[in-house]
Chain A
Amino acid sequence: MSMLPAALEAFQGEWRERASAESRLLPQGKLSGPMPWVIAIMIGLTVVATASGLALRNTARVASADVSGGVTVQIVHGAPRERDRQAQAALASVQSAPGVLSARLVPQAELDALVEPWLGTNAGDDINALPVPALIDVRLSDAANDSQLESLRTRLKSSAPAARIDAQATWLAPVFEAIGGLQWLAGGLIALLAFATVATVLLASRNALGNHRSTIEIVHMLGGTDTQIARIFQRSMAVDAAAGGIGGLLLGLVAISLLGHQFAALGSGMMTSVGLGFSDWLVICCIPLAGVLLAVVTARLTVLSALRGML
């Protein structure tokens, strides 16, 4: 073996010794009492809010990519035969139109399945008597725009006068608006929670400093350096914040998985396909880390500023 592990071990030993010596200057863990719990709750809530925000964003992205190039042609005609004839004509016409990737006449079976919840299976006898429109699902190569829709309309006017043409995005616009609103809400919540977490950590740090002011003064009078004293506090705060952060992360993950199951059970075609990607999980795991970092920096700054007031 090389000398490196031995050197590393020696360094670790020294570090551990110094750390243990310094940890004896202040009782660890008692530093801030309920603070780990408070931090855990704040981190847990932040994790849930962030996960929801990210999931909403992903949903909106996938859905809008799905529908933005989608156009639906409906043939609404009371006579089934005339309806089918116009549908076939429209399909042929649309398929040859420029900018169209594919067009598909939605089969009767699918249409039956779509209307089934409203009409029931036994409506089968009379189903042809009902003016169920024929549907053509059209995929455009780009997002549908008004001029393209207009040219499709003029194209179909003669061959299929009963055709009604709509971009799918238009139907879903209110849904996207709602999702956008929810995203803003999640963003606002995250900002508020982050702010409250910062405040919590700050208060915890101040509180700990207040409780241990006499200890700090004594260690200071015995020749403890500012960085030494700050380090003791940083470590204490880091331990508290790490405990709180890990607890909070677990809390948040449990909540997320419960929510995920609920949405999966809902079976909503939109939600099931949308989860959290690798980068999303990375962001979520960074939240407790950021909490610990914040706690440590706050503790350091608080202690150093208090010490600067002492001779």
Chain B
Amino acid sequence: MPLPQETIATTPKKRFHGLFSTSIAAYSCFGRNQVPATTGYSLLHMNKPDDAEIVHFDNVGLRYGTGKEVLTDVSFTLFSGRFYFLTGASGAGKTSLLKLLYLAQRPSRGLIRMFGTDAITLPRERLPGFRRRLGVVFQDFRLVQHLSAFDNVALPLRVAGVPEKDIVRPVTEMLEWVGLGDRSHARPATLSGGEQQRVAIARAVIGRPDMLIADEPTGNVDPDMAEKLLRLFEALNRLGTTVVVATHDIHLIQKMPDSLIMRLDKGRLSDPTGALRYPPRSGAAPSRPELPRL
């Protein structure tokens, strides 16, 4: 099957966005944005989980200031291209663990390796390069209040220096996709909680990160939208992005049978599905034990 002319002619950066939007279309269970002519191309480039380590935690402990440890002896390995859920009661330390993952916090002890590099001794000037490989949905969204929804979603591309002419189309499509096509000029303050959350998600995935880290990304949306957003993550995951989603929502987890589950209990990690075992089991967990009580 010949490649579409458009994708051959453009630079890798441009192709990358085109690829992303058409792939979303390909995996969209809502049937919007269908571009049949290019779906073959995006399927061709689908990444399979390749069991390559992307993150490794070894005996990581975290305490804030002089308080007690909120994370204790956390050890696990995340593998490239997989889909992880992180569950646990409120206050169990999910956000704290994700903060370590998205490099907003240094651990009090232990080792963290990310993208094959020791993330703890990483010099400051190399952090931005690492952060640009991550997409983060913060629990509190962290949208820039004086920028429109469009500009918020465009932010990672602009920070990465993507030319302006290559920003408008993917951002517009992404906003359409999360159902905010007609709200692209709205400031965050004038958006509902769920709408803000969708802007935050659009911003996290727009740059097609190597790893997506989402903290309660569906906490403020209705079940239909939650599932739609989950499909967005899934589409991204199929393109090779490792996804880590912290959530309380058991229904969400059930909708992703291929996912792996990590569970935090008072700052300690348990492994109810063997997600963290090495070598990781391929595909779904057939003998998946009963889902953890949340």
Contact = CB atoms under 8 A, between A and B. Distances in A.
Most buried by A among B130, B136, B158, B162: B158
B136 A221 contact: yes
Interface stretch (A129-137, A223-231, A266-274): A223-231
4 smallest beta-carbon distances between A and B, as pairs: A223-B132, A223-B131, A223-B128, A21-B158
B131 A22 contact: no
Contacts of B160: 223
A214 B159 contact: no
Contact of B145 (A20, A214, A225): A214
Nearest to B135: A222
5 contacts: A17-B164, A25-B159, A30-B146, A215-B146, A217-B142
A215 B29 CA distance: 35
B125 interface: yes
B144 A218 contact: yes
Contacts of B132: 222-223
Most chain B beta-carbon neighbours within 10 Å: one of A17, A218, A228? A218
Contacts of A81: none
B164 A219 contact: no
Size class of B's contact patch?
Answer: 20 to 34
Q: Tell me if A's interface is mostly helix, strand, loop or mixed.
A: helix
A17 B162 CA distance: 10
Interface of A: 17-18, 20-22, 24-25, 27, 30, 214-215, 217-219, 221-226, 228, 308, 311
A218 B134 CA distance: 13
Given A21-B158, A30-B146, A228-B159, A221 B164 contact: no
Contacts of B144: 25, 214-215, 218-219
A21 B161 contact: yes
B164 A20 contact: yes
Contact of B164 (A21, A222, A311): A21
B267 to A, nearest CB: 21
Given A21-B163, A311-B127, 10 more contacts: A17-B163, A17-B164, A21-B161, A21-B164, A22-B158, A25-B144, A218-B143, A223-B129, A223-B159, A311-B105
B210 to A, nearest CB: 12
A218 B103 CA distance: 13
A21 B163 CA distance: 8
Contacts of A225: 125, 128
Nearest to A21: B158
A222 B162 CA distance: 14
A250 B256 CA distance: 67
A218 B159 CA distance: 11
Contact of B142 (A24, A25, A221, A311): A221
Contacts of A22: 158
B104 interface: yes
